[in-house]
Amino acid sequence: MTEQLQVEKLSKSFGSARVLNEVSFTVEPGRFLVLLGPSGSGKTTLLRCLAGIERADGGTVRFGERALAEGRVHLAPDRRDLAMVFQDYALWPHMSAAGNVGYALRRRKLPRPESERRVAEVLERVGLADHTDRYPHQLSGGQQQRVALARALVASPGLLLFDEPLSNLDADLRERLRVEISTLTRESGATAVYITHDQSEAFALADEVGILEGGRLVQLATPESVYQRPSTPFVARFTGLAGELTGRTDGPAHQDRVLLTTEAGTFVATCMGRCGTDGTEVQVLIRPAAVTLADATDGRGDDRTSEATPDASRQGLAGTVTDTAYRGRGYDHVVELSDGSRLTGVFDKQAHLRGTPVRVALDPDGCFAYPTSPSHLEGDDSHLFNRTPVEIP
């Protein structure tokens, strides 16, 4: 049966280095959580604590009614009703694909015909019906990871853990296997936790994304909420930016909109803290999707005006295209603004050639102004765990 995973104040140190710092989260039954963070942020350690391979120093892990780790309780991995898929596949080299997949069932002493039926069925589901007798060294990387996925699914565990399972595969294969992992995991009904440092992989897979920074969970929300309301500059940077500017607020905020003056020009942004007062210093982080280009001579690009201050964004910022890359559906551009700063990954269906002067319109929804002074940041961290976009006063 599908269960809820509950993690509370999980902490872990190696020597004097605190690798996990009171990490708490809940994954509802059958939901798919992706933990996203840079190298060294503690993702693997957290997953290993959930699996029982690593022992946490403090905190609890519960799965349904059962405590997996709590106080002195520390259940061994094979008593946690879970299976794990590893980055390096971790197949037994001396066993065939069917042997690897059937191992867990043999340990459970399932009758042989039943075991063989389930192994054949799951290998069919991962597209390896014709490779059941092959040994790992006779399989490609993608095929080996499919065997590992089949091995994880075959005993229908309640909890599935994924440790960067796609990172050793090339781009095309990654995308195909990502879809298979997503589909087969959801079909199985298991609760899933998946770690990665790849933002696009995380957003594509997750029901909810948790962002880890230095062993702390700094935001936990749907991919849409993380993209639309990144709780900190770190989260915004780690989930995709066109560029960053610094500036000052110009007048008070209306709702959560604030007019900004920067060296590149004046525009409206979303205020991500207490930037209501005039002249507050801010960092502005800009999503690629918020940027629209128009040739400096035509009338496009000035239609994303703000209700609060229509005149401010009507002008757009002045810039020059410094790179144009064809992407099939259109073109990605690099634009240098008048202050010398750059916006990258700016998409337009039409190409703007290198050296072309352009006007850059910025959608306030994708421009986040964070006050640089800590006293202007939010006092409590409840907004970090937003399930829907929240209004920040």
Ligand X SMILES: Nc1ncnc2c1ncn2[C@@H]1O[C@H](COP(=O)(O)OP(=O)(O)OP(=O)(O)O)[C@@H](O)[C@H]1O
Residues in the site for ligand X, rule: CB under 6 A?
14, 19, 37, 39-45, 197
Q: Measured from the CB of residue 45, what is the shortest distance to ligand X in angstroms?
A: 3
Closer CB to ligand X, residue 53 or residue 308? 53
- Structural contact between residues 232 and 200, judged by C-beta atoms closer than 8 angstroms: no
Burial of 192 (0-12, 13-18, 19+ CB in 10 A): buried
Closer CB to ligand X, residue 41 or residue 143? 41
Q: Measured from the CB of residue 75, what is the shortest distance to ligand X in angstroms?
A: 20
Closer CB to ligand X, residue 239 or residue 270? 239
Closer CB to ligand X, residue 44 or residue 309? 44
Q: Measured from the CB of residue 50, what is the shortest distance to ligand X in angstroms?
A: 12
Q: Measured from the CB of residue 213, what is the shortest distance to ligand X in angstroms?
A: 10
Closer CB to ligand X, residue 237 or residue 387? 237
Closer CB to ligand X, residue 37 or residue 59? 37
Burial of 93 (0-12, 13-18, 19+ CB in 10 A): exposed
Closer CB to ligand X, residue 197 or residue 257? 197
Q: Tell me, what DSSP letter sits at residue 340?
A: S
Closer CB to ligand X, residue 45 or residue 262? 45
- Terminal CA-CA length for the chain: 42
Per DSSP bridges, beta strands 265-271 and 367-371 are parallel
Closer CB to ligand X, residue 41 or residue 306? 41
Burial of 21 (0-12, 13-18, 19+ CB in 10 A): middle
Burial of 239 (0-12, 13-18, 19+ CB in 10 A): buried
Quote the CA–CA distance of 227 and 222 in Å, as a whole number.
9
Q: Measured from the CB of residue 43, what is the shortest distance to ligand X in angstroms?
A: 4
Q: Measured from the CB of residue 166, what is the shortest distance to ligand X in angstroms?
A: 13
Q: Measured from the CB of residue 116, what is the shortest distance to ligand X in angstroms?
A: 37
Helix (H), strand (E) counts: the chain: 9, 21
Quote the CA–CA distance of 54 and 218 in Å, as a whole number.
22
Per DSSP bridges, beta strands 208-213 and 216-221 are antiparallel
Q: Measured from the CB of residue 264, what is the shortest distance to ligand X in angstroms?
A: 34
Q: Tell me, what DSSP letter sits at residue 254?
A: B
Q: Measured from the CB of residue 82, what is the shortest distance to ligand X in angstroms?
A: 18
Quote the CA–CA distance of 8 and 60 in Å, as a whole number.
5
The three-class DSSP label of residue 311 is helix
Longest dimension (CA), the chain: 76
Quote the CA–CA distance of 181 and 123 in Å, as a whole number.
14
- Name the phi and psi angles at 294, rounded to 5: -145, 145
